Amino acid sequence: MGKLVITDECLVPRRLTWMYYKGPDPIGFLKNFPTTLRFQFDVSTTRCRQRKLLWDYTGDPIRFYNEWIVKKELSRFTNMQIELRALGYVSKSKKDGDFSLEITGENQHTFKPSNWFTKYIWVLYNYMFYNKLRERYTAMCRDYIDGFMNWCKENYNMRTVTTPDAMLEGMRDEEETERMVKRTGFGKEDKPPSGDEEKQEA
C-alpha cells in the first residue's frame, strides 16, 4: 500500500528567501557553514550535509556555487527539510567578494498505512487534531530559518534581499556566470508558492 505525504512550505506566501553578503573572505564563511547549520538548526552531522559544490577557477574572480540540505525530525510523522544554495564570487588577489544565499524550507508529514481502514483513521485524525500540530511545526520551521538569518546578520553583516539579482546583476555580462545560473536554476521558483500541498503515492 502507498504512503500519504502532506507538504507544508515554511515561508508562505513566498517559497524562497534570499540573503546577501559582500566583504572579505566569503570562502571562510562558507567553509564553516556545515558547523553553523548544525548549531543553528540543532541537528547532528548526519542530518546536515553539503549536496553540491561547483567552482570555476579559470577566471578572476573565481565563481562558486554550493548547496546544503538540513533534515530535522519534528515528530513520528513530521520531518523538517531546509535547503540552502549560495552563488557568488571571490577575488583571487584581494580574497574578497560576495554571494547570494537562497533559503527554502518545508515540513513533510508522512504516514504509511497498512490498509485502507488505518489510512481513513489517520486522515480523520489529521483533519481533527494534527492540523493544529502542523501549524505549530510550520511556525517552528519559520522560527528556525529566522534565527539562522538573524545570526548571519549579526555575525557577518549579511542583509535580506527580495531577489538574488542584487548580486547577480553585475555578473550576468559574463558568459560563465550566466551558464552557471542556468545550470543550477538559482533564483528560480520552479513551482508556485503554496502553504499546503497534498499528494498520494501509489
Q: Is 187 left (phi over 0), alpha (psi -120 to 50) or beta?
A: left
Predicted confidence at residue 176, as pLDDT, reads: 61
**Kind of pairing between the strands at 4-9 and 197-200:** antiparallel
Q: Where are the domains of the chain?
A: 4-200
Predicted confidence at residue 192, as pLDDT, reads: 40
Contact 121, 18 (CB under 8 A): no
Name the pTM for this structure: 0.79
Contact 162, 65 (CB under 8 A): no
Torsion of CA 42, 97, 64, 14, to 10 degrees: 60
Residue of 182, 43, 173, 187 lying closest to 101 (CA atoms): 187
* pLDDT of the chain, 202 residues: tens digit per residue: 578 888 999 998 888 999 999 888 887 778 888 899 999 999 999 999 988 888 888 878 888 889 999 999 999 889 999 999 998 888 888 888 889 999 999 999 988 877 778 877 877 877 778 888 899 999 999 999 999 999 999 988 899 987 765 555 555 456 666 666 666 777 666 444 444 444 433 3
Grid coordinates of 16:
524562497
